[in-house]
Structure 1
């Protein structure tokens, strides 16, 4: 390999590493959480929002229903455990489907890319997608898969000032997200795709329709049984 090519490659790698250090992902934006005061039995007595008025609770993956986590990954990012931030196959498939349909059918974003977008909201365009890919790669190099999931589950929008699966579960179901029914799992997966339109407290018919669509999808994937969906 010519010396100039080697020098150019080394310079490129050095530049990428330098940019990574100078512009790290804004993880500090996920630091603020609500305070939940409970009694000895764990029953909530009072909650205090974040300084910016959000209801957002920290997430420990061990305290979230594993069936919900499995279903979420199956619907949103089935290769989550294997990719390094970007599912290129899924991204190219989404691009092809969108071109064929003449409109954006799906963004092809992984859970890591969605987490990057929630940390750093931007208008949706090609430039933003490229930044998402870069940020997702940064997150994967700094955090474990478990930590990325916990971050995602604490930031996901659920309508109004609700953020994260725990806040949504308390608000909509009146209990923690450690044990969820089939309907609750399907609804919690469906809501973030269009949180204001599908809010069950304001538009229950849209919420029910989206919930049933996700439940049927999970049944086709074999995550739910047909009996679970019918019940």
Structure 2
């Protein structure tokens, strides 16, 4: 504890050291962040203001929109501000908070996307029992479990990282406080911690991805017995969700495999 207290702040290397590139990144990421905020706020406003949208699918969509705003806000504002700052620093506890919120909302997004796949499975494959399966209480329980699961994941990741001692190296080779860049600064053997955080993230990502894959496989097989109109309606409700899942999980799996390879080999 005495060693860890020697570090009161960390310094980010950031995305680039070139002033011109930093200005370009600043404009680009600010635009992306504003689009994310406005788009998700419009979704939330639409869902809450229209009683016809008070259904399980839109309940989880509003959860997803809120998570997306919070997930982006965990890192983007600080990163954008740092792009036009000479001193890219963050306090020790600010780094703890950023890592916790980043993993909390990121994991919550994975769980909510998985629950949404189950909702689509129930709607398409069990249409007569859909209202019973996805009752209001069931939706609240599934959403609560998603948030609690994310809380547990984030707590483990953050605790494993910051229970280590940090000495004089304060420069994080990244643009926000993520687990592996911060672990590189610890003045202790991090082999076991690296393995644990990889296993924690990997099992959650892979497990949810397999559930999503199984849900869509069952949905696609069930559509063979439906009319072309029924197939069109079912696919239209799943298409946007499947697109989001693809863009979210493919980079996650790629990054997970790349980090695992870098650490193990």
Fold agreement, TM-score > 0.5: no
TM class, shorter-chain normalised?
A: under 0.3
| TM-score normalised according to structure 1 size | 0.27
Larger relative helix fraction: 2
